[in-house]
Copies of this chain bind each other. A is one copy, B any other.
């Protein structure tokens, strides 16, 4: 059903109401939300504001017939995941959205998924823009973090251990099944598809890793491809034990090649990859228990040997993969590839 709503009425109906319900709660940081030229954010003394922005495009980041409730949730989740990777606490977000038409059913479902996740993380919608155009969802999210406590990509040093949260590869496995690149039983698909459609931003983990992790990022484009950003900015090499990569039971039923490819290079996982000194092992184990979240040691940071960082991949026998095998695995997801 399509309604001839004007832009302001549209914003009011689906977004402002959900936003106001949250703002009326308790957050003292939001001085002014939707409805003025700008939103106003008042950080606590001694806190920095972490800012991230992701743009989701139909046919590129989601299918044209994507479940709008899942999509609303995911559009915010991928941004909160960036806040998590810095160790930030969510404060609020803006939503700018281009819509091909005003479809109230779609908007209702989309905003339901969006606000459900926003509620979970006390992260209200504070502004944005709405326009006609090919479907495009652009969210900017804001978080707070005590001064100097942000976990950057540049802090890894030789001797650090490399860790990853949750499991990796299920989002890619889901995509492969939906694209008929391989076949999965409907039971198997149901068991893993949540990782692609409704990823969990690891906000609690990120906040616990302040002062523990030396570097961190979230895995959106594939573990190894993203890890390279840490290596480049920290000017270090890495050694990864492929058989240590945490994989779901469903992924473990696939061939070893598929397991390695999807776990090491599958995009859309939104787990946190971080580095930490070996003396943090027990603290990390405690965090894992407290959050009931697997955190797995998958490799080590090494001194950089050449002008560009390298990732040494070890198979289950401890044998290093050849350059060709490595290059083949490293062909990571690129939005322009």
Task: Report chain B residues within 8 Å CB of A39.
Answer: 50-52
Stretch with Cβ within 8 A of B (4 or more), from A132-140, A275-283, A310-318: A132-140
Distance to closest chain B CB from A79 (angstroms): 9
Question: In this complex, what residue of B is CB-closest to A126?
Answer: B51
Answer yes or no: A162 CB below 8 A from chain B CBs.
Answer: no
Question: In this complex, what residue of B is CB-closest to A145?
Answer: B40
> Which of B85, B127, B218 is close to A52, meaning CB atoms less than 8 Å apart?
B127
Answer yes or no: A142 CB below 8 A from chain B CBs.
Answer: yes
Cross-chain contact B136 with A51 (CB below 8 angstroms) = no
Q: What are the nearest 6 A-B pairs in CB distance?
A: A57-B133, A138-B138, A38-B50, A37-B85, A55-B96, A134-B134
Chain A residues engaging chain B, CB cutoff 8 angstroms: 5-8, 10, 31-32, 35-43, 45, 48-55, 57-61, 82-83, 85-86, 88, 94, 96-98, 102, 126-134, 136, 138, 140, 142-143, 145, 147, 150, 152-154, 216-218, 229, 233, 334-337
Task: Report chain B residues within 8 Å CB of A130.
Answer: 335-336
What is the CA–CA distance of A98 and B136 in the complex, to the nearest angstrom? 9
What is the CA–CA distance of A218 and B127 in the complex, to the nearest angstrom? 16
Question: In this complex, what residue of B is CB-closest to A221?
Answer: B7
Cross-chain contact B35 with A40 (CB below 8 angstroms) = no
What is the CA–CA distance of A336 and B153 in the complex, to the nearest angstrom? 42
Task: Report chain B residues within 8 Å CB of A145.
Answer: 40
- Known A133-B136, A335-B130, A336-B102: A52·B35 in contact at CB below 8 Å: no
